[in-house]
Amino acid sequence: MRLIRQLWFQVLVAMAAGAVLGYVRPTLGAQMQPLGDAFVNLIRMIIGPVIFCTVVHGIASMNDMRRVGRVALKALIWFEVITLAALVFALVAVNLWQPGVGMNVDPAALDASAVKTYTTAAQHQTAAEFLLHIIPATLASAFVQGDVLQVLFVSVLFAFALALVGEPARPVLDLIGRLSQIFFRIVGFIMWVAPLGAFGAIAFTVGRFGAASLLSLGNLILEFYVVCFAFAFIVLGGVARAMGVSIFKLLYYIREELLIVAATTSSETVLPRLVQKLQALGCEESVVGLVIPTGYSFNLDGTCLYLATASVFLAQATNTPLSLEQQIVLVAVALLTSKGAAGVAGAAFVVLAGTIASVGSIPVASIALVLGIHRLLAEALTFVNVVGNCVATILVAKWDRALATDRLYAQVGVGAPWATAAPKPAE
């Protein structure tokens, strides 16, 4: 009975049931998509208030604005280092595995209209346009549109102003702290329907794409999953180990979130829960509030793996020669284009279209090859995105001495005993 009450078990059973329904009754399975979409929308509804309360309360309580800038700078440095490592890692792997070699696809024979929506959405965005987009049109529009970076921008401004006002603003700070507890309680309510959302999302994926997609491009799917898990366990696991953290225990600690991400293919669905769980691990509220929301746009390790792998695969499949210099340009472009991809399902495909269009050497129409299996690939890349942001938060917190190491090591340390259940995040 205790196992049945565990959220991760409920989600796992729901995913299995959804997969069976999608396989046995594909049409009915595809019609379950609204269940998954409804759960994702519920989470998006609460993300803005959660980020605002966490960031404002964390920063305003620090009373040290220079430290806020220092934490943000450290986070951005790490984001650039690890995303570059992800791009190079994927580039080496896809050149060694060569999943697209021998396909001999003629780009002219592909249905370019199938990807027209994505290529239109992926219009090249300059650095100035990207920076201007961070500033919302109005104070309220950041929360209405649900843009994570815009909400973060408003939250940081509000937090700085609140801190500078000082003692007279203390009642406002206390109110935000109480609101934060209320919003996290709402997150708890929403998680009650997570199994239903997972059921609908998996039933739709299996019913809509089925086994045919797996067979037709199975080599690419296998290669990408191997690359994602290798990067998570070797690279991110190595970083975690250097901090005294067991990557296996960390994954076990966030197992519920990973299952939800695997079902919905959107890392955005677990953002509020990650904020809670990382604070419960011992990371200071101010660090978590800055690193997690920023990481959702600047630290997408899995998206970088996807961009490098898919781009070179399409070149291989269409017999498009890519020199070393061209691949270096591809990495440089992907390093920039990946920064705007939010944790929304499907965003990585739009960024892929923008990356290929920017590079210019690979036929844009060729992205139709991976359109049918993108959701399957997204299950792996979102897994890496979540793990990468958890490792980044712990690293920055440890780097800035904003980490209760005794609490961290007791739960996910290399020598810590395995827990029978992940600690429940604070309400």
Q: What is the pLDDT of residues 188-208, one digit of tens each?
A: 888 888 889 889 888 887 787
* pLDDT tens digits, 159-188: 888 888 888 888 998 898 889 889 888 888
Least confidently predicted of 269-278, 287-296, 371-380:
371-380
Mean pLDDT of 55-60: 82
Position 417 in a domain:
no
The yes-or-no verdict on residue 274 having pLDDT over 60 is yes
Residue 424 has pLDDT above 60, yes or no: no
User: Which of 298, 297, 292, 294 shows the shortest CA–CA distance to 389?
Assistant: 292
More confident of the two residues 366 and 174: 174
- Residue 211 has a pLDDT of 59
Poorest-pLDDT segment among 199-203, 234-238, 278-282, 361-365:
361-365
**pLDDT value at 138 more than 90:** no
Phi, psi of 299 (to 5 degrees): -130, 55
So what's the pLDDT on residue 392?
A: 95
Q: Residue 214 pLDDT > 70, yes or no? A: no
Closest CA to 218 of 376, 384, 383: 376
Q: What is the pTM of this model?
A: 0.81
**Would 75 be classed as within a structural domain?**
yes
What is the widest separation between alpha-carbon atoms in the chain?
Answer: 70
Q: Strands, E, within 214-295: which ranges?
A: none
Confidence tier at 419 by pLDDT (50, 70, 90): low
State yes or no: pLDDT of 119 exceeds 60. Answer: no
pLDDT for 116 equals 56
356 in any annotated domain: yes
Query: What is the CATH number for 307?
Result: 1.10.3860.10
Instruction: Read off the pLDDT of residues 277-319 as tens digits, 9 standing for 90 and up.
Output: 999 999 998 899 888 888 887 888 998 899 899 889 988 888 8
- Domain of 264? 7-412
**Residue 425 placed within a domain:** no
Q: What is the pLDDT of residue 299?
A: 85
Mean pLDDT on 72-84:
91
Task: Give the count of domains, the chain.
Answer: 1
Average pLDDT, the chain: 82
In a domain, 423, yes or no: no
CA 214 to CA 372: how far, in whole Å? 10
If one compares 253 and 334, the residue with the highest pLDDT of the two is: 253
Asked whether residue 88 carries a pLDDT value surpassing 80, the answer given is yes
pLDDT at residue 215 tops 70: no
Q: Give CA–CA dist 153/175, Å, rounded.
A: 20
pLDDT of residue 331: 82
Q: Is 210 exposed, middle or buried (0-12, 13-18, 19+ CB in 10 A)?
A: middle
Q: Mean pLDDT highest for which of 205-209, 317-321, 340-344?
A: 317-321
- Cα 380–Cα 381–Cα 386 angle in degrees, nearest 5: 100
In a domain, 253, yes or no: yes
pLDDT tens digits, one per residue of 254-268? 998 998 888 887 888
**What is the pLDDT confidence band of residue 238, given thresholds at 50, 70 and 90?**
very high
Q: Answer whether residue 127 is part of any domain.
A: yes
- pLDDT beyond 60 at 422: no
Any domain includes 398: yes
DSSP state of 426: P
| pLDDT in the model for residue 122 | 46
